[in-house]
Chain A
Amino acid sequence: MELLPQALCDGILLGGIYITIAIAFSLTYGVMHVIDFAVGEWIMFGAFTGFYLNKLTGLDPFIFLPLIFVIYFGVGYLVQPVIHRVLSGTKGNPFLMGLVFTFGLAMMFRGLALTVFGFYSNSIPSMFSEGAFSFDRFGCSVTIPTVRLVGLVYALAITGVLHYLLKKTNFGLGVRALAQHKDAAGLMGVNSKRTGSYVYGIYVGISAMTGVLLGCILSIGAQMGNDYTIFAFFVVVLAGMGYLAGVPWAALLLGLVQSIFMIYFDPSHTLLAVFAILYLILLISPRGLFGKGV
């Protein structure tokens, strides 16, 4: 039992980072109504960009976070019109095609990454990597690595900024209107094409930044994308698709499941546990933990 506080702590810190992945992912689903199978690949690309920038300049990867956001915002901004074109097509079933399209993108990105980066696993060194806070009170001892704490702070900051953007600005009003009713929002003067591009750019940028953080905390590899795609799906389904307020709780739950499996059970069965929970949720409450998904 003495490991339990540590497991809970690790889980919450890890879950904090999943919040950022899932919240941007859920936002994109809300606006575009298509789930992006390439979410893990964006995270992976961001992680490798951070890794190589760090190698090239020797500076701390945390300094590059804004730069990486800008780069990947641009990438997402340029990719989205293609997805928009697929989704607004008249031939066949556009949403089916959108799903297939992102699936194809993810496959292509994975192949490219394996070709360029190889199969090796690495980690990004940071000035926060070494330090750790230790607590030893009330008969339980907990160690918190600084880098994970920084990750949590980052996640909270991103969530706060997104919250501000969505609730307090005109842009956010447009995004929420689009998520509610695309056609009506269009009639009210929301440019769905441009707003969609911005949202997709923000999502890709945040995913890429989070990738750098995950690279500092865990490890990076060209095959890491798949796991994070599953995690993003898990969090979004658990929270209810498109229901942003549920995302933090679902992400924390995922972090806890992962850290508890890491310590008490076989870590190679994490995916099975994740799937079992996903299955149960879909069986009992398909609209997510809070019943507010679409």
Chain B
Amino acid sequence: MKATSNRGMQAMLILGALLLALPLAVHDTFVLRVLTEAIMWIGLAIAFDVIAGYTGYLNFGHGAFFGIGAYTIAILMMQANLPFALALPAGGLAAGLLALVAGFPTLRLKGAYFAIATWALSRAIQQLALTMDITGGPDGMRLTAFLNPQFFYYLMLITVGLTFALLWYLLERAPFGLKLKAIREDEEGAKALGLNPTKLKMQAFILSAVPTGILGGIYAYWITFIDPSSTLGDLVSDQAVVMVVFGGMGTLFGPAIGALLIFAFKTIFWAYLSDFQLLYIIILGALIAVSVIFIPNGLWGTLVRRKQDKIRPEHEIAAAVAPEEGN
């Protein structure tokens, strides 16, 4: 076990070093841009999985947290003239506060209430952004452009890398992850063990929302234009759901792989079939339904479990055969 985790660590370090060195080799702005967005989606997917996969509470309004981060930073930078470095934490803070407010009444209840409430919340926030003056309504907001693709690549990479490391430590190494899984499997049982499910779920929800808000803020400054449909629209939430369900809920690598595959598919699809954006939504919906029916553990879960399944019968056969040989 220790050897594998060491090997995994080495692989991660090598991957990190490669990603850090990448802009030195890649000078094509388009490729860098695609990579930056791919990294962003990995971050969004793993943040979504904290509350959905580990805790078992589906947040169908993930886009609201992304959008509120983006809008907070846009408003602070354009209306209050704050520098980006100061506005960025505020984006995360705003998303965390929203999670606190939205989670407080709903996380005490069954998962269905939470799913409904977050979904309704994202619609309400969309409507708010469309009708308020400070957000520019349907016209959206324009930010001062800072045209440095390398800067955004590194910023996104470092943010997502730190998020991944933090989540990996908290969810896979620290007791926090086990507590969340205990709640997911049996909330009453978790209570009997002396855990406080509501408090833990709140922590998980905030842990999921803050990185999402920060990523939204970076996205706003990077793309320099945000409007309700691009940041608060359903597509952000929908894609997060697809990535996590397809990749594998309740793991960190599953959503990351799901995010990469879905994002690659999206990039290719929009490059060649940009006239058929509705088809993209249909495919996403169908992919969710098909994954749920055929690979309920997602790609990652199915592959890892299959490996375990292969090992187990051999042990059993060995155990069953051994006494007979003794005779």
Contact = CB atoms under 8 A, between A and B. Distances in A.
B60 A103 contact: yes
Given A101-B289, A108-B289, A111-B278, A279 B241 contact: no
Interface residues on B, range: 35 or more
A104 B296 CA distance: 13
For A93, A237, A268, the residue with the greatest tally of chain B CB atoms inside 10 Å of its CB is A93
A226 interface: yes
Interface in A171-214: none
B189 to A, nearest CB: 14
A278 B120 contact: yes
A111 B282 contact: yes
Contacts of B131: 266, 268-269
A95 B111 contact: yes
Interface string B111-155: 111011101110110011011000000000000000000000000
B203 interface: no
A91 interface: yes
The B contact surface, by secondary structure, is helix
B297 interface: yes
Interface stretch (A53-61, A63-71, A82-90, A144-152): A82-90
A282 B117 contact: yes
B184 A274 contact: no
Nearest to A29: B112
B286 A286 contact: no
Contacts, number: 134
B108 interface: yes
B113 A237 contact: yes
A26 B120 CA distance: 18
Contacts of B287: 104
A279 B103 CA distance: 10
The A contact surface, by secondary structure, is helix
Contacts of B270: none
Contacts of B83: none
A104 B289 CA distance: 5
Interface residues of A, number: 48
Contacts of A114: 278, 281
Contact of A86 (B106, B109, B111, B293): B293
B123 A271 contact: yes
A18 interface: no
Contact of A91 (B117, B241, B297): B297
A156 B235 CA distance: 38
For B60, B285, B301, the residue with the greatest tally of chain A CB atoms inside 10 Å of its CB is B285
B232 interface: no
B245 interface: yes
Nearest to B289: A104
A132 interface: no
B109 A100 contact: no
Nearest to A90: B296
Interface string B260-296: 0000000000000000001111101111110011001
Nearest to B281: A111
B115 A99 contact: yes
B104 to A, nearest CB: 7
A274 B104 CA distance: 18
A115 interface: yes
A105 interface: yes
Contacts of A272: 124, 127-128
A35 B116 contact: yes
Contact of B279 (A92, A111, A275): A111
A91 B105 contact: no
Contact of A275 (B56, B123, B285): B123
B124 A103 contact: no
Given A89-B296, A111-B279, A106 B285 contact: yes
A234 B296 contact: no
A262 interface: no
B292 A97 contact: yes
A1 interface: no
Nearest to A105: B289
B120 A234 contact: yes
A271 B127 contact: yes
A112 interface: yes
Contact of B111 (A99, A112, A282): A99
Nearest to A241: B112
Nearest to A281: B105
B249 interface: yes
A99 B112 contact: yes
A226 B241 CA distance: 17
Given A111-B279, A269-B131, A286 B108 contact: yes
20 contacts: A96-B58, A97-B296, A99-B111, A104-B285, A104-B289, A107-B238, A107-B281, A107-B284, A108-B282, A108-B286, A111-B285, A114-B281, A115-B278, A233-B120, A268-B130, A269-B127, A272-B127, A275-B120, A275-B124, A282-B109
Given A103-B58, A109-B285, A275-B121, 5 more contacts: A100-B241, A100-B292, A111-B279, A112-B282, A269-B127
Interface of A: 29, 34-35, 37, 82, 85-86, 89, 91-93, 95-97, 99-101, 103-112, 114-115, 226, 230, 233-234, 237, 241, 266, 268-269, 271-272, 274-275, 278-279, 282-283, 286, 294
